[in-house]
Homo-oligomer: A and B are copies of this chain.
Amino acid sequence: MPDLSALLSPASVAVIGASPDLAGLRGRTLKVMLRHPYRGRVYPVSRSHASVQGLQAYPSIDKVPERVDLAVLIVPARFVPEELERCGRAGVKAALILASGFAEDGNESGAALQGRVAESARRYDMAVCGPNAEGFANLALGLCATFSPVLEESNQFVSSGSAQGRIAVVSQSGGVGFSFLDRGWPKGLAFSHVVSTGNEGCLESFDIVEHLLDEGSAEVFVVFLESIRNARTFRRVAGKALAAGKPIVVAKIGDSEPGRRAAASHTAALAGAGASYRAMFRRYGVIEGADTDEILDIAAAFACFGKRLPRGRRVGIATASGGAGGWMADACAAAGLQVPELEREARARIDAHLPSYGTSQNPVDGTAQAIRTIGYCELARLVSLSERVDAVIAVVTARNAEVFQRERESLGRLARETPKPILMWSYTLPSAETARIVAEAGFPLYTDMRNCARALAALADYAEVQKEQTKTAPDPTEKSPSKSSLDRIGALLESAGPVLCEYEATPLLAEYGIHMMEASLVSTAQEAIAAASALGGGPVALKVQSPQIPHKTDAGAVALGVRGAEAIERAYENVLAAARRVPGAGIRGVLVQAMAPPGVEMLLGIHRDATFGPMLTVALGGIYVEVLRDAALAPVPVAREDARRLIATLRGKALLKNGDTEALIGLVVALSRFAVDHGERIESLDLNPVIVHPAPGGVSAVDALVVKRQDSPG
């Protein structure tokens, strides 16, 4: 990995293609840079001008009197590769490519140009951002290497006195990336960086996030993603962020078909499947936001209270308006928060300050009168003292700054001292003055009611994921197979055909403690009868084993609940006849298997996600998965606690009320271990159905199918 500080914190910058024409991007980029207080050296490079915007210009990068850290390239796409080569030769350490006309163009020449950029970057070990980027801003450094209109006019910078943590924005889209600044500043938020990554021909979003995590000036990350290019990088960086307690709030576009279309044409990236992304985000505590304001509103809560996360989901609401307080209570409930009645002692403390038409039950309606007598701050503080709440939302009207001016000091004190997060929502539009006072005190001030509730829920979610990290260490009692077993399974998988039927999958799974219902593979009716008898003489299933018939039931190649020699012989002939009607089906025999005792039908599976690799699915079987798509997904490995949570997210989970959930969890974990060890070799693995018996009856895995990965590594 090249040195990203040369890119984002350079000591010197060359602007290649700089121009005096302020109407065009080439002139504007230099203008934006010069109007900000960057203290490093800036060198315009121009073939046609001896000086540009008051600075001496140089005819090419190798004429610049020092080895610059960063070159900003704003020449047309077709000239970029040779200029980048020249930079490399001149010892430039990093480059930002603003030009469009690369892979996003959708033609071969654009892709080829981008390929040449990547080659140069590798050859010279340069940190290259773009192409098709809108640039970046390092706000602490005062360096704005971008033509974004947001930075062309605004002069707002990190307010040095702010008590809040700083936010770093990393965005594939430049327009969206810089809009976070534009919208965040009026909310009183402090930013450390905005970096637009464009086509990500070399560096990708999470490379930038990793550098900024190491660099340390940001407390919260906002990432606008069209796709994740490298799952390994994502997992490493997201894991590092979680360990550091620095949340990543992400916008993931391309969840819808037209959104995917836009992403594909926009930065030449195929947006990944929504469910896999969501599962990965959940695993690493990455918080998904739905739009600019929601993302900033979540970030604001972390910027103020990220180091004082709530212990639970119980909210006290302190309000001056009964209607607005009740509405907020609904919004909290919708966001998965609880608004419990306060305990008697807390109510008594509050009641002392309320008029008869107020109420302390929660929402605590102080009415305008309590705001006049004790103020927002004291009312919120009294509510925060309740043992029954983990956080407080203060519902205020912030259009008039007067009350807040009066409470300025106590607000600052409360923000510093409260051990519980306190968020403010104004049902009127805050004046700029109020917004400033509240931000300086160190509270997030919301205008959007739902975002306020959502932000608080995100704090609680994040606290939970952090706690899980300590709980979900791999269970040492769950041993993986020995090295020799692993090699044997690997060899078996390798030598098998593209599809493994149940009888082939059975011995592989057994190494992981996944035991299929007892069964024998037979090739005559007489053998079938003998096998059934050896299984105890109860009813059996007869299942044709053919790699070409993955959907045996649809093909009529299965008979269930067969009992007695005559019936078994007839069923044997029937399933074989049905299988023979499938064109090209090679038949390996018929599996005779004991019928499972009754229980709840489920489906467990592994499939390879194109981006993230093996993902594990737990679903309720039959109509639940077919009609209701009631399935839960997680990346492997899945520890016991993960499995428990996964099952708890199923809509039909009540069906498992009496089921042996512990046995099911054990099976999920075992399957996950199989996927960890062999996931690179398989496209999918289905255990379908798995019957969950009433506790403590265990589970029965009744069928298995493995499809090998076509482009498998071996």
Quick one: which of B104, B106, B153, B290 contacts A400, CB cutoff 8 A? B153
Contacts of A397 in B (CB 8 A): 149, 175, 179
The tally of residues in A whose CB lies under 8 Å from a CB in B reads 89
Write the residues of chain A forming the contact surface with B, with a CB cutoff of 8 angstroms: 100-101, 104-107, 110, 132, 149-150, 153, 171-179, 182-183, 186, 224, 226, 251, 253-259, 261-263, 265-267, 290-293, 317, 320-327, 329-334, 338-341, 355-357, 359, 361-363, 365, 367, 397, 399-400, 427-429, 447-450, 623, 626-628, 651-652, 654-655
Taking a contact as CB atoms under 8 Å apart, the answer to whether B291 and A341 are in contact is: no
Taking a contact as CB atoms under 8 Å apart, the answer to whether B175 and A399 are in contact is: no
Taking a contact as CB atoms under 8 Å apart, the answer to whether B226 and A450 are in contact is: no
Taking a contact as CB atoms under 8 Å apart, the answer to whether A359 and B628 are in contact is: no
Taking a contact as CB atoms under 8 Å apart, the answer to whether B258 and A362 are in contact is: yes
Contacts of A259 in B (CB 8 A): 326-327, 329-330, 333
Q: How far is the CB of A456 from chain B (nearest CB, A)?
A: 14
Quick one: which of B186, B331, B361, B399 contacts A182, CB cutoff 8 A? B399
A-B contact pairs, 15 of them (CB 8 A): A174-B323, A175-B324, A175-B397, A177-B323, A226-B323, A251-B327, A253-B323, A253-B329, A255-B333, A257-B339, A258-B317, A261-B362, A262-B326, A291-B331, A292-B427
Contacts of A326 in B (CB 8 A): 226, 253-254, 258-259, 261-263, 266
Whose C-beta in chain B lies nearest to the C-beta of A265? B359
Contacts of A183 in B (CB 8 A): 428-429, 447
Contacts of A104 in B (CB 8 A): 322, 357
Contacts of A100 in B (CB 8 A): 355, 357, 367
Contacts of A651 in B (CB 8 A): 627-628
Whose C-beta in chain B lies nearest to the C-beta of A266? B322
Q: How far is the CB of A346 from chain B (nearest CB, A)?
A: 15
Decide yes or no: A293 and B448 within 8 Å by CB, A333-B256, A356-B101 being known contacts. yes
CA distance A363 to B293 in the complex (A): 22
CA distance A324 to B172 in the complex (A): 11
Contacts of A251 in B (CB 8 A): 327
Taking a contact as CB atoms under 8 Å apart, the answer to whether B333 and A258 are in contact is: yes
Q: How far is the CB of A600 from chain B (nearest CB, A)?
A: 10
Whose C-beta in chain B lies nearest to the C-beta of A103? B357
Taking a contact as CB atoms under 8 Å apart, the answer to whether B179 and A427 are in contact is: yes
Contacts of A255 in B (CB 8 A): 330, 333-334
Q: How far is the CB of A497 from chain B (nearest CB, A)?
A: 34
Whose C-beta in chain B lies nearest to the C-beta of A361? B261
Contacts of A428 in B (CB 8 A): 149-150, 178-179, 182-183
Contacts of A321 in B (CB 8 A): 173-176
Contacts of A341 in B (CB 8 A): 261
Taking a contact as CB atoms under 8 Å apart, the answer to whether A330 and B256 are in contact is: yes
Quick one: which of B149, B175, B332, B429 contacts A258, CB cutoff 8 A? B332
Whose C-beta in chain B lies nearest to the C-beta of A369? B100
Q: How far is the CB of A277 from chain B (nearest CB, A)?
A: 12
Taking a contact as CB atoms under 8 Å apart, the answer to whether B291 and A105 are in contact is: no
Q: How far is the CB of A557 from chain B (nearest CB, A)?
A: 24
Q: How far is the CB of A684 from chain B (nearest CB, A)?
A: 24
Decide yes or no: A330 and B176 within 8 Å by CB, A399-B182, A627-B655 being known contacts. no
CA distance A651 to B651 in the complex (A): 12
Taking a contact as CB atoms under 8 Å apart, the answer to whether B628 and A329 are in contact is: no
Decide yes or no: A325 and B262 within 8 Å by CB, A183-B429, A652-B627 being known contacts. yes
Q: How far is the CB of A607 from chain B (nearest CB, A)?
A: 23
Decide yes or no: A107 and B356 within 8 Å by CB, A182-B399, A627-B655 being known contacts. yes
Whose C-beta in chain B lies nearest to the C-beta of A363? B262
Contacts of A623 in B (CB 8 A): 652, 655
- For A179, A183, A357, A628, the residue with the greatest tally of chain B CB atoms inside 10 Å of its CB is A357
Taking a contact as CB atoms under 8 Å apart, the answer to whether B628 and A322 are in contact is: no
Whose C-beta in chain B lies nearest to the C-beta of A321? B175
Q: How far is the CB of A210 from chain B (nearest CB, A)?
A: 22
Quick one: which of B177, B429, B448, B652 contacts A628, CB cutoff 8 A? B652
CA distance A110 to B290 in the complex (A): 45
Contacts of A427 in B (CB 8 A): 175-176, 179, 292
Contacts of A179 in B (CB 8 A): 324, 397, 427-428
Quick one: which of B153, B267, B356 contacts A105, CB cutoff 8 A? B356
Q: How far is the CB of A433 from chain B (nearest CB, A)?
A: 13
CA distance A365 to B100 in the complex (A): 14
Contacts of A173 in B (CB 8 A): 321-324
CA distance A693 to B263 in the complex (A): 46
Q: How far is the CB of A354 from chain B (nearest CB, A)?
A: 11
Apart from A150-B399, A259-B333, 18 more pairs, CB < 8 Å: A105-B356, A110-B357, A174-B321, A175-B321, A175-B322, A176-B427, A253-B323, A253-B326, A254-B326, A255-B333, A257-B339, A258-B326, A258-B330, A259-B330, A266-B325, A266-B359, A291-B449, A292-B449
Contacts of A447 in B (CB 8 A): 183, 293
CA distance A652 to B624 in the complex (A): 9
- For A176, A326, A331, the residue with the greatest tally of chain B CB atoms inside 10 Å of its CB is A326
Q: How far is the CB of A526 from chain B (nearest CB, A)?
A: 36
Contacts of A266 in B (CB 8 A): 322-323, 325-326, 359, 365
CA distance A500 to B53 in the complex (A): 92
Whose C-beta in chain B lies nearest to the C-beta of A341? B261
Taking a contact as CB atoms under 8 Å apart, the answer to whether A262 and B331 are in contact is: no
Contacts of A400 in B (CB 8 A): 149, 153
Contacts of A357 in B (CB 8 A): 100-101, 104-105, 110, 132
Taking a contact as CB atoms under 8 Å apart, the answer to whether B265 and A365 are in contact is: yes
CA distance A177 to B324 in the complex (A): 10
CA distance A652 to B263 in the complex (A): 32
Contacts of A153 in B (CB 8 A): 400
Q: How far is the CB of A507 from chain B (nearest CB, A)?
A: 36
CA distance A330 to B266 in the complex (A): 14
CA distance A263 to B341 in the complex (A): 14
Taking a contact as CB atoms under 8 Å apart, the answer to whether A262 and B628 are in contact is: no
Whose C-beta in chain B lies nearest to the C-beta of A252? B330
Taking a contact as CB atoms under 8 Å apart, the answer to whether A399 and B149 are in contact is: yes
- For A262, A324, A339, A623, the residue with the greatest tally of chain B CB atoms inside 10 Å of its CB is A262
Taking a contact as CB atoms under 8 Å apart, the answer to whether B329 and A261 are in contact is: yes
Contacts of A628 in B (CB 8 A): 628, 651-652
